[in-house]
Amino acid sequence: MTVYLVGAGPGDPGLLTRRGAQLLSRADVVVHDRLVPTELLALAPSGALVVDVGKRPGEPRRQEDINALLVEHGRAGRTVVRLKGGDPFVFGRGGEEALSLAAAGVPFEVVPGVTAAFAAAAYAGVPVTHRGLASSVTVVTGRVGENEAGEVDWESLARAGGTLVVLMGMAERAEIARRLMSAGRAADTPVVVVEKGTTAGQRVARCLLEDLHKVELDSPATIVIGEVAGLDLHWFDPGPLHGRTVVVTRAANRAGRLVEQLRVAGAEVVALPVVETADPEDGGRALAAALSRAAEFDWMVFTSAVAVDRALSAIGDPGALDGVRLAVVGPATARALEERQLCAEVVAEPATAAGLVSSMPPPSAAAERVLYPRALEVRPELADGLRAKGFAVEEVVAYRTVPSAGVLDAQLLGRAATADVVTFTSPSTVHAYLQAAGGALPPVVACIGPVTAEAAGRAGVHVDVVAEEHSAEGLVRALVCALRA
């Protein structure tokens, strides 16, 4: 039994350490802060207990309760990852949690993370130390209350010089500036304020110390005060979707690539998994039985990466497919095969069921046999088209796509309602989203392909964007083109 105090980094999911990712992949319990990226939570096993202990404005959460929760799960012999924004020991109260665990006799390990104190400045093009400008850097919390234990001595900091990085200081920025200037810091000292540093929502404001009170950015923000703030070593490209908020409705276990591509393009992502993947109603017995006869088939066709994963997990040894030709509906499904060291002989062009039918070579012998592991909800177009072409098609349900079992977070639904774009990747996501959101939609609706767009249209939804390439990359490209126009 071990509790791991893991730094999640400043906001960019790519800044999580390898050790942190390894621990998440085998966690029994994940206890996380409010601002931890959803992509990091997706690294946990599907059966892990995920607990949000984030402290929200107006909803105080006692640190003692969090400490007790960690002790409880640790004593139960579970592998617990306490995922904390930034670094656990840099204004993360990780020390308090470690003391509680030590007092309870629960083993723990600290996994440092990248702190926003330095990362946010770097993403804004500001080095916190620089030859000739600053040879020291001080990180402080934006506390200005009188007679409080741990009160920041702003007057001493003003005289110390160097770079001053203030975390959690936006609410008191005017008083911080006043006290620094009254103690001798020059009014024209350069300042950089970075809101949501390292993320797609990053915004940067530059000013002088005397004008800090005029900066209108939101928390969380990092304030950098000193001569280095006059540097602007710009390198961070926010991407063509910067400033746009995009809702991803795909199942959590399938959303990773789309979320990643959207973030690379600069979008702020609201991950709202309105559906999830479930076993067939028979628990997969029919799938296992069909795959035990894999050698009897000439072809196996796949229309999704989930079908590939389900089928090949059931078959166990990919060698059982020796001699079976493989066909897929698009590049994402082809990649799923490649990840298992298998190669598709046919990749549909275009990437639709009709495209796969037309891309398949005519059967060379009477009644070539095709095994089609599919979702429960698919339309009959592919199977009927292959039969019309002369193939003998055996269909077997590999999985079901069902509405998410849990109650969707009200805050996520609120963020989705005020987003710029909602993306749909299957008819099931359309129907589940409309049910969860009460029919409210963002201004732009984007669909991964014509089948999904048709389902949206039948549900009374006006579709603004339909991807030509039916993949995560194709959907993001289509969005960029549409929103730039």
Position of tokens 């003692």? 64
Task: Please tell me the distance from the alpha carbon of residue 341 to that of residue 39, in angstroms, as a whole number.
Answer: 26
pLDDT band, residue 149 (cuts 50/70/90): very low
pLDDT attached to residue 331: 85
Flag whether 300 is in a domain. yes
Task: Summarize the confidence of residues 280-286 as an average pLDDT.
Answer: 93
Q: Is the pLDDT of residue 59 over 80?
A: no
Task: Summarize the confidence of residues 93-100 as an average pLDDT.
Answer: 96
Do 384 and 300 fall into the same domain? yes
Choose the final residue of a domain: 378, 403, 428.
403
pLDDT attached to residue 41: 87
Flag whether 235 is in a domain. no
Q: For 367, left (φ over 0), alpha (ψ -120 to 50), or beta? A: left
Residue 377 CB neighbours (<10 A): 14
Report residue 143 as tokens. Answer: 């506390």
Arithmetic mean of pLDDT over the chain: 91
For the residues of 387-441, what is the DSSP string, one character each? HHTT-EEEEEEEEEEEE-SSPPPHHHHHHHHT-SEEEESSHHHHHHHHHHHTT--
Task: Summarize the confidence of residues 373-385 as an average pLDDT.
Answer: 91
Do 390 and 451 fall into the same domain? no
Set 28, 52, 55, 420: catalytic member: 55
Task: Please tell me the distance from the alpha carbon of residue 266 to that of residue 71, in angstroms, as a whole number.
Answer: 39
Do 461 and 353 fall into the same domain? no
Report residue 283 as tokens. Answer: 């628990």
Residue among 352, 308, 305 at smallest CA distance from 329 = 352
What's the total number of domains in the chain?
4
Torsions phi, psi for 6 (to 5 deg): -110, 130
Torsions phi, psi for 409 (to 5 deg): -60, 130
CB neighbours of 354 closer than 8 A, spacing ≥ 6? 381, 385
The torsion angle over the Cα atoms of residues 225, 228, 234 and 236, rounded to 10 degrees, is -50
Do 363 and 391 fall into the same domain? yes
Report whether 29 contacts 1 (CB < 8 A).
no
Identify the residue with better confidence: 440 or 149. Answer: 440
Task: Summarize the confidence of residues 422-447 as an average pLDDT.
Answer: 93
pLDDT attached to residue 150: 57
Task: Please tell me the distance from the alpha carbon of residue 160 to that of residue 140, in angstroms, as a whole number.
Answer: 13
Flag whether 238 is in a domain. no
Do 131 and 219 fall into the same domain? yes
Do 69 and 52 fall into the same domain? yes
- What is the CATH classification number for the domain harbouring 266? 3.40.50.10090
pLDDT band, residue 147 (cuts 50/70/90): very low
Do 122 and 222 fall into the same domain? yes
Flag whether 239 is in a domain. no
Do 77 and 161 fall into the same domain? no
Flag whether 331 is in a domain. yes
Q: Is the pLDDT of residue 87 over 60?
A: yes
Task: Summarize the confidence of residues 258-287 as an average pLDDT.
Answer: 91
The parent domain of residue 180 ranges over 118-230
Position of tokens 């893991």? 6
Flag whether 236 is in a domain. no
pLDDT attached to residue 485: 63
pLDDT attached to residue 394: 96
Flag whether 441 is in a domain. yes
Do 359 and 456 fall into the same domain? no
Task: Summarize the confidence of residues 283-290 as an average pLDDT.
Answer: 93
pLDDT band, residue 308 (cuts 50/70/90): very high
Flag whether 325 is in a domain. yes
Identify the residue with better confidence: 458 or 60. Answer: 458
Q: Is the pLDDT of residue 37 over 90?
A: no
Do 301 and 379 fall into the same domain? yes
Task: Please tell me the distance from the alpha carbon of residue 153 to that of residue 180, in angstroms, as a whole number.
Answer: 10
Do 289 and 394 fall into the same domain? yes
Choose the final residue of a domain: 53, 79, 113.
113
Q: Is the pLDDT of residue 447 over 80?
A: yes
pLDDT attached to residue 349: 83
- E strand intervals along 36-95: 49-52, 79-84
Helix (H, G, I), strand (E, B) or coil at 293: coil
Instruction: Please state whether beta strands 245-248 and 421-424 pair in parallel, antiparallel, or not at all (unpaired).
Output: parallel
Set 28, 33, 279, 420: catalytic member: 33
Q: Is the pLDDT of residue 443 over 50?
A: yes
pLDDT attached to residue 445: 97
Identify the residue with better confidence: 318 or 337. Answer: 337
Amino acid making up residue 5: L
55 is catalytic: yes
Q: Is the pLDDT of residue 56 over 70?
A: no
Task: Please tell me the distance from the alpha carbon of residue 319 to that of residue 300, in angstroms, as a whole number.
Answer: 14
pLDDT attached to residue 395: 96
pLDDT attached to residue 57: 57
Choose the final residue of a domain: 95, 113, 131.
113
Residue among 67, 84, 61, 60 at smallest CA distance from 11 = 84
Torsions phi, psi for 159 (to 5 deg): -80, -25
- What is the CATH classification number for the domain harbouring 149? 3.30.950.10
214 is catalytic: no
CB neighbours of 95 closer than 8 A, spacing ≥ 6? 89
Residue among 430, 422, 419, 373 at smallest CA distance from 396 = 373
Task: Summarize the confidence of residues 340-367 as an average pLDDT.
Answer: 88
Report residue 474 as tokens. Answer: 């194709």
Do 210 and 356 fall into the same domain? no
pLDDT attached to residue 407: 62
